[in-house]
Amino acid sequence: MSALRKPLENPTAPSERPLPRRRVAPQGQRQPKPKNQYQGVAVETGLKVIVNGVLSVAAIATLANLFPYYWSQQSKLQELRTQVRSTEKEVAELQSNFNRSFDPTQAGSVMQEQSGRLAPNQRRVVLTNQNP
């Protein structure tokens, strides 16, 4: 049975595929380091800080200009609310008078108030001062 087996490959024998070769950078062609390699990043960061500072100052100035406008609008709103309350009271009075005018049970008294006439079964009473 051992004759029927395939012979094992020799692990030390070279394989059929060649191994890829590593590239080695030549030592003499390195680029010289700049004097300050972070100078570009520092300039960019500085510009960002300056631009953000200018934008912040502009935003604060705009807000400072908006506050007086806001306060004036609030005072106008307060005046309007006061006027609305007084107008609502007036409307409520007029509504009650309107309802009273069209109430059939009070129609006689309303006509008497508006015309000055008395009902036939009533007499006018006039008070006079007896002491001169």
DSSP secondary structure code for residue 27 in this structure? G
What residue spans define the domains of the chain?
39-102
Distant-in-sequence, close-in-space partners of 118: CB < 8 Å, separation ≥ 6: 112, 124
Residue pair 100/106 in contact (Cβ under 8 Å)? The answer is yes
Q: DSSP state, 72?
A: H
Could you identify the residue written with the tokens 């009271």?
A: 89
pLDDT at 85: 97
Enter the tokens of residue 128: 């006079």
Consecutive 10-residue averages of pLDDT for the chain (132 residues): 56 62 65 74 95 97 93 96 97 89 80 77 82 72
The pTM of the whole model exceeds 0.85? no
Instruction: Using alpha carbons, select from 44, 42, 40 the residue that is nearest to residue 52.
Output: 44
**In angstroms, rounded to a whole number, what is the distance separating the alpha carbons of residues 23 and 14?**
22
User: Which pLDDT belongs to residue 106?
Assistant: 80
